[in-house]
Chain A
Amino acid sequence: MLKGRLSGFVFQLLAFVLALVFVSLILIAAKASPMEAYKNMITGSVGSMRKFAEVLVTFVPLLLVTAGLLITFSAGLWNIGVEGQIVLGAIGTAWVFRQFVDSTLPAGLIITLAIFGGMAFGALWASFAGALKTFGGVNEIFGGLGLNFVSTALTLYLIFGPWKREGVASMSGTEPFPDHFSLPQLPDLRISLWALGIALVGVVIVYFILQGTYFGLKLKAVGKNFRAAYLLGIPTWQYSMYSFLICGALAGAAGAIQVAAVYHRLIPSISSGYGYLGLMVAMLINYQAVWAIPVALFFAALNIGSIQLPIVMKLDSSLAGVLQGVLVLFVLLMEGVRQKFVKKA
């Protein structure tokens, strides 16, 4: 057992080194200095309090999405539709806010309602992917991808149609909501401790569900062996559906925070690709909830750090995505090598 863990760690370290070497070669091919690029990414993410606050702004939705995906992955489902579930969460929150624009209710109550509204919309959207899978025989990957495109269409329709700005509708989004509809932020920093709190509570709940409840145990049984779980009397399709709903609600919360604490309006790319990035984080941590916080923080830092690259080095900021992707790829490959190696030994 100890030997297995040790070899796992060694191979992961090797994967990390190989990924860095690979990305450095790409940087050299793009006629840039790898050291300078990495240095800029580090100072761009943790170089100042303001920058680190930006990292946390990215970390919050990413962590919520990752937490949700841990549930669907445990149930053996590839919830690629998570991207659209974030979008619907944002739409739900914006919709609730619109209902209360002229209301005299306390702002805290309205924001709470709006966040729950976003979670409900996210869960509803996830239930579509679940229903397509359970009752329509449509694989959740393809149903989810299709629903992602529909959610984008829906956002654009709202921004350019019924929710359009007075005067001209534009890609910059809807009219911003009044100031009191925003989650309180730290002075001079864009991060809201409330948002951070919601994300941390989300991941703790998921950890508890998976490690400490009978429900989580059954969910994992369904994921490990669908047929055996069915034969043992677990209502398998209900469990698949529950996992979609939980993941959708958490992704919806991520979308809600994007509206209530970051953009204060609905914009076309409100999900910022956090759904797909969350899938990568979940794969990298091998679906272990304990690792969600540090790895999501690391990925968020890469995203924010890379913003410096076009400004300082005239490089494209997509380097963050390359680094994240290559890292996950090498970890997957090295895990395969390790399994082959351990089997032989």
Chain B
Amino acid sequence: MNQENLLVGLAGVLAAAAPIIFAVLGETFSERAGVINLSMNGTILLSAMGGFAVAYNTDSILLGFLAGMLIGALVALVVAFASITLKQSQVAVGFVLALTCRDLAYFLGNPYMGQAGPRLQALPIPVLSDIPIIGSLFFRQEAITYISFIAIYLAWLWIFRTRPGLMLQGIGEKPAAAFIRGANVNLMRYVYTVIGGALIGLAGPTYSLAIRAGWMGTISGLDGIGWIALSITIFGGWNPSRAAFGAYLFALLQWLGLVLQPVLTQVPSQVLQVAPFPLMILTLLLVNIGNAEWVERALAAMPETTRKFLSKLLRAMRASPPAALGVPFERD
């Protein structure tokens, strides 16, 4: 593989990670506030279909993206209403929506199957795109990919460097304390779940109007991405920069699967395409195992130097969810 092909491939990885980044950031906001939005897999499919349908009928790509965000926000609103106001299980409602929205996308998307529609064009940035290597990697992308770069930074800035972001951390960790400090916990949960849902809804049109333009129904290859994004949210430890790292890693692995196909001929291609999934479980295990009780006991029995090394390693990988994740908040 020559250098040019490599650069094109890696630039493709950055683009392919963009929708996953939107989804993971959206889920991170929602879960930071204490609400698990398990509907993600269905939301992405429905917003991909809806975004494409709107862009196809109006010939406006912008309206397509907005429609996707609106769909994501509405689905998230159902999750928020059912879990915050009606106090039903977030997992149950989210799971049902994940399946229902997927089937709804297939049902309503039937007339749009295989239609040629508008798609986003690459938008090279003047001057910057001429820088060797860096230019072709970062600055010859589609507009939505640039937005994904900016979104990672803004999300990180919001959560860790602003006052409302500090409050957001509070309502996910210690809602009672945040309430005493004047936060309207349930209203904030609604707001962040809906905003997070809009971000998740942005992922759909990023597929159907940019990186995999069009709507192909069940063979779109989008079914399953939402579940991956959920695991990446955990891998990311509810931190936008680490979550983005996870998204890029996943996109890189999928690309490597494609590239290695001609080399590893004895492995069926269908297996290489799903190779990142087992790796995801492994990373989830590494992220979580530091929280397990028996690990602490096992560590305590080890010699000093091994213990120090291992516990440092585990702590570096470890991530704990917001303490009040999935727990309804009541005023008294």
Contact = CB atoms under 8 A, between A and B. Distances in A.
A136 interface: yes
Nearest to B81: A333
A10 to B, nearest CB: 17
Given A142-B284, A283-B92, A333 B271 contact: no
A157 interface: yes
A136 B285 contact: yes
A83 B170 CA distance: 37
A325 B100 CA distance: 5
A138 B103 contact: no
B4 to A, nearest CB: 32
Given A138-B284, A325-B100, A332 B274 contact: no
A189 interface: no
B268 A326 contact: no
Interface string A47-72: 00000000000000000000000000
A139 to B, nearest CB: 8
B289 A136 contact: yes
A318 B93 CA distance: 19
Contacts of A315: 107, 110
Given A150-B278, A283-B92, A315-B107, A145 B227 contact: yes
Contacts of A201: none
A344 interface: no
Nearest to B217: A316
Contacts of A145: 227, 230-231
Interface centre among B271, B281, B291 (most CB of A within 10 A): B281
**Secondary structure call for the B interface:** helix
Contacts of A319: 103, 107
B275 A153 contact: yes
A54 B102 CA distance: 25
A311 interface: no
B140 to A, nearest CB: 33
Nearest to A30: B108
A332 B100 contact: no
Nearest to A326: B100
B278 A325 contact: no
Nearest to B275: A153
B284 A328 contact: no
B281 A333 contact: no
A321 B103 contact: yes
Given A30-B108, A142-B234, A135 B292 contact: yes
Contacts of A335: 88
A316 B96 contact: no
B285 A336 contact: no
Given A280-B96, A339-B86, A138 B110 contact: no
A26 B97 contact: no
B82 A333 contact: yes
B278 A146 contact: yes
Given A30-B107, A146-B281, A153-B271, A332 B288 contact: no
B277 interface: yes
A336 B100 contact: no
Contacts of A137: 288-292
B100 A149 contact: no
B106 interface: yes
A276 B271 CA distance: 23
A332 B96 contact: yes
B285 A132 contact: yes
B281 A147 contact: yes
Interface string B85-112: 1111101110111011011101111100
B99 A325 contact: yes
Contacts of B309: none
A178 B95 CA distance: 40
Contacts of A38: none
Nearest to A31: B111
A161 interface: yes
A143 interface: yes
Contacts of B103: 318-322, 325
Given A139-B288, A329-B93, 9 more contacts: A145-B231, A146-B278, A150-B277, A157-B268, A161-B271, A314-B110, A316-B106, A333-B86, A339-B86
Top-3 shortest CB links A-B: A336-B86, A325-B100, A321-B103
Interface of B: 38, 78, 81-82, 85-89, 91-93, 95-97, 99-100, 102-104, 106-110, 217, 224, 227, 230-231, 234, 266-268, 270-271, 274-275, 277-278, 280-281, 284-285, 288-292, 294
11 contacts: A26-B104, A136-B285, A137-B288, A137-B291, A146-B278, A149-B277, A153-B270, A315-B110, A319-B103, A325-B96, A329-B78
